[in-house]
Chain A
Amino acid sequence: GQSLEQPSEVTAVEGAIVQINCTYQTSGFYGLSWYQQHDGGAPTFLSYNALDGLEETGRFSSFLSRSDSYGYLLLQELQMKDSASYFCAVRDLDSNYQLIWGAGTKLIIKP
């Protein structure tokens, strides 16, 4: 079966940089996605990596190493509005290519 591991909580200071790690175990890996969810809100798509390397979108970047079954989300110039939960999710053969989600990382930003 599939499993994803990410830290349950990360704390950072406004203006700083934070990295949220995700390790996974799957069969027939087909991409790693990141979503943001504010309390009581809808998950919103942030990024997707199918190949090794870094994808940059504004203040957010996402990295994937398929050989290490590992990825991370990097958030730069943190703002208070970035306080939210961040989920990594994988698609693989065993899940019929449906998204399998981690338990999420709650990011707490302090002024």
Chain B
Amino acid sequence: GAGVSQTPSNKVTEKGKYVELRCDPISGHTALYWYRQSLGQGPEFLIYFQGTGAADDSGLPNDRFFAVRPEGSVSTLKIQRTERGDSAVYLCASSPMGGIENQPQHFGDGTRLSIL
């Protein structure tokens, strides 16, 4: 596809459950980012992948959150023992390269996660 694809677009689950959110970046983009956005706020950085490795995971709020990108393209954000405070829109973005060089990030439409 031409853009960043995120699935599912919406996810509703009960507190305590496990969820997986998927991101399919633009083909050839080596840098991939996960953000979390709450209503009325800007995106909050979670984790950055350069290729297959997590180059910066300093934004992950706690050890319930984990992300992988095993083949350097599709990434999965995993949340264990979900809490109501995890409810937010989870955004994925990709760019051709990462690092300190500024490159526009291309975002998906996000997954709206609701924890009941």
Residues of chain A at the chain B interface (Cβ within 8 Å): 30-31, 33, 40-45, 48, 50, 87, 89, 91, 95-104
Contact = CB atoms under 8 A, between A and B. Distances in A.
Given A101-B43, A104-B41, A104-B42, A45 B104 contact: yes
B110 interface: yes
Contacts of B48: 98
Contacts of B58: 96, 98
Contacts of B93: 43
Contacts of B25: none
What 3 A-B pairs have minimum CB-CB distances, sorted nearest first?
A: A101-B42, A45-B104, A42-B107
Interface of B: 4, 33, 40-45, 48, 56, 58-59, 91, 93, 99-100, 102, 104-110
B45 A98 contact: yes
A41 B89 CA distance: 10
Given A41-B109, A43-B43, A103-B42, A48 B59 contact: no
Nearest to B42: A101
A45 B105 contact: yes
B107 A48 contact: no
